[in-house]
Amino acid sequence: MLVMLGLALMALTVTAQDVTCKSGVVLEVAHGRDYTLNICGAGIVGLRGVEPPLRTATALLPVVGGPARAFPPEGPSSGDILGGKNVGPEAIAFLSKLIGQRVTLVNDGYRMGDGGGRQYAYVFLSDKTLLNAEMIRLGLGYADRQGSHPRRDEFIAIEMMAQRAKVGVWGN
């Protein structure tokens, strides 16, 4: 089984390495303090208003689609997993489907980025799906209650629906 998993990951990485850098195309995805996408022409983009369930820094998931790299030791300090269920692998698998796809970024003027050069944005898929809201709807993240942004109340309402539906981190 480990061999099959390793082969699947290698195949995904190979496919991702073959992605041509065209403006707006997702090159790689990662999970750490935030779910992030490396988007050609934009750089590293965190999903505005979405918080992944935190895990210990030593258990962070790898970058998918790019070269292997170590995560900084100052990763998440909480060992708590929201809802008691680690959905990180599911979230990365879901986001990995976006590698090679074109997305559209919308900035809202709130906390545009951080000191590390990462920007925060709403990410729209080619079918106009708001990825940020979809991650919360699927229970692969939860609504950020710390910050302020125009879709905060909408994201909290979506999270409450995910809790009632018992999906993702809210599942049994």
| Confidence (pLDDT) at 54 | 66
| Confidence (pLDDT) at 115 | 62
User: Would 98 be classed as within a structural domain?
Assistant: yes
User: Would 142 be classed as within a structural domain?
Assistant: no
User: Would 155 be classed as within a structural domain?
Assistant: no
Q: Could you give the number of structural domains in the chain?
A: 1
User: Would 61 be classed as within a structural domain?
Assistant: yes
Most confident region among 44-48, 73-77, 82-86, 106-110 by mean pLDDT? 44-48
| Confidence (pLDDT) at 73 | 38
Contacts of 162 (CB under 8 A, 6+ apart): 136, 137, 138, 139, 168, 170
| Confidence (pLDDT) at 163 | 93
Tens of pLDDT along 96-145? 999 999 999 999 876 666 666 789 999 999 999 999 999 999 999 989 88
Measured CA distances, 55 to 60, 78, 120, 138 (Å): 7, 6, 21, 19
User: Would 127 be classed as within a structural domain?
Assistant: yes
> The pTM is what?
0.75
Measured CA distances, 27 to 89, 123, 126, 127, 132 (Å): 18, 14, 16, 19, 18
User: Would 164 be classed as within a structural domain?
Assistant: no
Structural domain boundaries, residue 79: 2-131
CATH code, domain carrying 85: 2.40.50
User: Would 46 be classed as within a structural domain?
Assistant: yes
Q: What percent of the chain has pLDDT over 70?
A: 67
**In angstroms, rounded to a whole number, what is the distance separating the alpha carbons of residues 78 and 53?**
10
Tens of pLDDT along 7-38? 333 323 323 556 789 999 999 999 888 899 99
User: Would 145 be classed as within a structural domain?
Assistant: no
